[in-house]
Structure 1
Amino acid sequence: MTLFKNPEFEFSALLALGASGQRSGEVGEVLTAVNAINKAGLSAQTYVETFRKLGDRLMKAPEGGKSDRETRRFRALRAAQYYAQALFFVLGSDDPGNEEELYKSGRGAWDTFCGLCDPAPVTASVPYGKTPLPVWFFRPDESGRRRPTVILTNGSDGQNVDMWTYGVAAALDRDWNALVYDGPGQGQLIFVDRVVFTPRWENVVTPLVDWLVARSDVTADRIALTGLSMAGDLAPRAAAFERRLAALVAMPGCLDPWLGFPAEIRKILTPNKQETNDVWNKEVVPHLSPAEAATLKKRFEPFSVPAMLAAREGKVFTDFYTPAKLIQSMAVTDVVGHIKTPTLVLDYEFEQFYPGQARQMFDRLTAPKEYVKLTAATGAQLHCSPMAPQQHCEVVFDWLRETLSGG
């Protein structure tokens, strides 16, 4: 399936299209938007404008009558998806300074959706350093019965709506609890609070586990942790040190996020900060195309507040060294062997960002483990199976059920 000739736009749109299976997208809406963008001429500007307007429209009452609670709920969820689509490319648009406002539009749609759920998720702020973590705790009902719980971890550029697609809906269908959160470098913490990623993800997950085990509706010895996209690095890092987790899923397994960047970008980094930044500013930045610059702005912003703020002003960041070293420090190659938690490692045919790393992680694990590769034979190829999140969740939750029940 080809929606756009550009692979970045193609992958993002496929995520929106695939999300339709979990009601966090709509095939007709996405394809209509794709047609409009192609007709206008594919660019960050046309993509952002089209999906933002679609989100705005869904947050209003539909034509032809008053909408009921369920209609408003899932219109808001789809709006959150479309705002997230626009947010991803806004730094390459004509109005990059609109990034925080666009994030807040998507967050508002997500919060509207959550408020209309029955029951609504419990919301809280879990202590973490100087900036607490916002959490949304979904339950199948308000009976207070103890249940297995899955902590869903997003990657470097996902939004909360992606956690609905890749876990919340599946957990609720199986009578499980699900916890969604923004960690450093994600959602509210990066776009509003300006807190970048940390390589010590156990310091993020441990307070979440503390919060969960204190609840009377959580089975304390049946808490699982999943990590989507770059969180296939973050979640294993946490599990290497947080021993109360009963199961771990890396989607996909990622040992070293820095290797997910192009080789020609990685070679810029040297042990010398001044030398590195001189090469970046004098030899690289002047030759970047607008599209290349936009991609690098987006990929570096969760690791550098100055990079994010420069991008919002339409500029390329000047300090390459600092965020590059942070990304480099997030490798988990040396700690995977410490994981004791039973682990499922997912891999994808035609994985674009971390090819080969899932198998390498699986081989390094000494804990009980399983490796599953999702393929093009069932439409589940590419990073995170964008066209097949239902299949993805079936694999993950079947394994979780078997693992947490003891086989």
Structure 2
Amino acid sequence: MTRLLLKDELLDAQLIRAVGAAGHHGADLGEALQAVRGLDESDLDAWYAAWNTLGERVFAFAEEQERAGHRIAARDAFLRACTYLRTGGSMLYRAPVDPRMVHSNTRQTEAFRRAAALLDTPVETVQIPFEGTTLPGYFLRAADESGVRRATVIGLGGYDGTAEECYFYFAAPALARGYHVLLFDGPGQGAALLQQGLTMRAQWDTVITPVVDFLLARDDVDPARIALAGLSLGGFLGPRAAAGEHRLAALIADSGAYDMYGGALDRMPKPLAHGFEMGQKMARVALGEILDAMARKPTAGWSLRRALVVHGIDSPLAYLDVLKDYRLDGYAQAITCPTLVTHAEGDAIGASAPQTFAALTVADKELITFTAAEGADDHCEAAARTLFDARAFGWLDDRLHPEVTA
């Protein structure tokens, strides 16, 4: 995998993730590298402080540029501030929820909305009706026109992503190609989690169906050309959604795992995994102690601490029980729309994505593997999103034809 600056694998990957937004004005390489240079990589409070300081400084610069009438400079600085503020808070997952993480989410949202008001195309802040409440999101229009129906992309992020971050992953490249875009935080994600307390679920068709209903009520969305694009955990949730929601015209699953539970068992010593599978009390106790110790480690335990917050559970061992429902067997086979599965060859998280592709029974399916030789072997092709945009949206363009309006 690509290594940029930091010795710690997780933190370096998060640095690459932030810098990867540069292709759509979401970061500057020099700013990001300077923020973490010399950082104590065992101190996640220092990580937060470094990124938060950078984010607030760039936010203040954006406000100065806006007051001076420099719209483009202000817009781009607000977009960078959004990335930096999210990056700082994302390492603070712990139960109970850290107030700094909630503040980080609020500030990255403020930064994005300030940027959105300065974009060349209209952005609506929306609330999508959902199970007695609403999901926060944005509807971004490709052009300022009334009553013209266009192909539309729903962008779906991952475990610790936000709707605002999905602007850089999906919205910016889609808008440039003539698509409308809907971004939103579902249960367990972004503001839906941190501001509303909505936790993650595997049954994502129950989330996407009201989202599609919301789009179909609009007079600027072509009902026959709605695509769903998800990355990381969204690359798993997307297929789960498409298995039950057949009004989707296309699906892009970027680096999604086929069997998250099986993958977790594969990383355990075989006797312990077998004992856990068989429900043996001693195996559960031993595994619980191991996972509790792991969760206390600064970066090695981050994903376990994240799981407690995202799923609303009280122990790492409970996370393994939750994962039993995070499988695509029996679901991938029910997908009826054209489907693109992407996979980065150095990505351990999405290593089982080819299994998702193999399980698909729909006739129109394609698998794209991104390689180290292309500089695209990181999780979700984080260091080569321009290449991802070209290939994935090329595939989607051939099916939904965004240049056509109705």
Q: TM-score, normalised by structure 2?
A: 0.88
Cα distance in 2 for partners of 1:273, 1:115 equals 57
Specify the alignment match of 1:55 in structure 2: 55
Q: Which of 281, 286, 297 pairs up with 1:290?
A: 297
Mapped contact 1:110–1:161 kept (Cα < 8 A): yes
What code does the residue aligned with 1:372 have? I
Specify the alignment match of 1:362 in structure 2: 357
Cα distance 1:127–1:287, how it changes in 2: closer, same or farther (>3 A)? closer
**Is 2:71 the partner of 1:74?**
no
Cα distance in 1 for partners of 2:337, 2:168 equals 25
Specify the alignment match of 1:2 in structure 2: 4
Cα distance 1:212–1:273, how it changes in 2: closer, same or farther (>3 A)? farther
Specify the alignment match of 1:185 in structure 2: 188
Specify the alignment match of 1:174 in structure 2: 177
Deviations along 1:60-102, whole A, 9 cap, x unmatched? 136798352222222111111011111121248xx94422122
Q: Per-residue deviation at 1:122?
A: 1.6
What code does the residue aligned with 2:385 have? P
Mapped contact 2:343–2:350 kept (Cα < 8 A): no
**Is 2:197 the partner of 1:194?**
yes
**Is 2:280 the partner of 1:264?**
no
Q: Per-residue deviation at 1:370?
A: 0.6
Deviations along 1:282-332, whole A, 9 cap, x unmatched? 55425765323444202432111xx5xxxxxxxxx4x34444322221212
- What secondary structure sits across from 2:14 in the alignment? helix
Cα distance 1:191–1:272, how it changes in 2: closer, same or farther (>3 A)? farther
Mapped contact 1:232–1:250 kept (Cα < 8 A): yes
Q: Which runs of 5+ in 2 are unaligned?
A: none
- What secondary structure sits across from 1:194 in the alignment? coil
Mapped contact 2:229–2:252 kept (Cα < 8 A): yes
Residues 90-109 of structure 1 correspond to what in structure 2 (within 5 A)?
90-91=92-93, 96-109=98-111
Specify the alignment match of 1:246 in structure 2: 249
Q: Per-residue deviation at 1:215?
A: 1.3
What code does the residue aligned with 1:360 have? Q
Cα distance in 2 for partners of 1:201, 1:353 equals 20
Residues 182-331 of structure 1 correspond to what in structure 2 (within 5 A)?
182-261=185-264, 263-264=267-268, 267=273, 269=276, 278-279=285-286, 282=289, 284-286=291-293, 289-291=296-298, 292-304=300-312, 307=313, 317=314, 319-331=315-327
Cα distance 1:146–1:283, how it changes in 2: closer, same or farther (>3 A)? closer
**Is 2:341 the partner of 1:345?**
yes
Cα distance in 2 for partners of 1:296, 1:204 equals 24
Cα distance in 1 for partners of 2:246, 2:393 equals 21
Cα distance 1:286–1:181, how it changes in 2: closer, same or farther (>3 A)? closer
Deviations along 1:206-237, whole A, 9 cap, x unmatched? 11111112211111101111111011111111
- What secondary structure sits across from 1:3 in the alignment? coil
Q: Per-residue deviation at 1:114?
A: 1.9
Q: What is the RMSD computed on CA atoms of the aligned residues?
A: 2.7
Mapped contact 2:295–2:316 kept (Cα < 8 A): no
Cα distance in 2 for partners of 1:88, 1:261 equals 22
Cα distance in 1 for partners of 2:242, 2:21 equals 28
Q: TM-score, normalised by structure 1?
A: 0.88
What code does the residue aligned with 1:208 have? V
- What secondary structure sits across from 1:184 in the alignment? coil
**Is 2:43 the partner of 1:43?**
yes
Q: Per-residue deviation at 1:204?
A: 0.8
Q: Per-residue deviation at 1:20?
A: 0.6
What code does the residue aligned with 2:353 have? A
Mapped contact 2:305–2:316 kept (Cα < 8 A): no
Cα distance 1:280–1:110, how it changes in 2: closer, same or farther (>3 A)? farther
Specify the alignment match of 2:20 in structure 1: 18
What code does the residue aligned with 2:382 have? P
Mapped contact 2:20–2:383 kept (Cα < 8 A): yes
Cα distance in 2 for partners of 1:30, 1:361 equals 35
Deviates more, 1:284-293 or 1:26-35: 284-293
- What secondary structure sits across from 1:199 in the alignment? coil
Specify the alignment match of 1:113 in structure 2: 115
Cα distance in 1 for partners of 2:259, 2:325 equals 9
Mapped contact 1:134–1:182 kept (Cα < 8 A): yes
Deviates more, 1:269-278 or 1:253-262: 269-278
Q: Per-residue deviation at 1:352?
A: 2.1
Cα distance 1:42–1:217, how it changes in 2: closer, same or farther (>3 A)? same
Q: Per-residue deviation at 1:270?
A: 5.3
Cα distance 1:337–1:42, how it changes in 2: closer, same or farther (>3 A)? same
Number of positions where the alignment pairs a residue of Structure 1 with one of Structure 2:
390
Cα distance in 1 for partners of 2:294, 2:74 equals 47
Mapped contact 2:162–2:191 kept (Cα < 8 A): no
Cα distance 1:294–1:171, how it changes in 2: closer, same or farther (>3 A)? closer
- What secondary structure sits across from 2:244 in the alignment? coil
Deviations along 1:92-146, whole A, 9 cap, x unmatched? 8xx9442212221112212222233244312221111133111201012221221
Q: Which runs of 5+ in 1 are unaligned?
A: 308-316
Mapped contact 1:131–1:193 kept (Cα < 8 A): no
Cα distance in 1 for partners of 2:280, 2:61 equals 53
**Is 2:128 the partner of 1:126?**
yes
Mapped contact 1:243–1:340 kept (Cα < 8 A): yes
Q: Per-residue deviation at 1:380?
A: 1.0
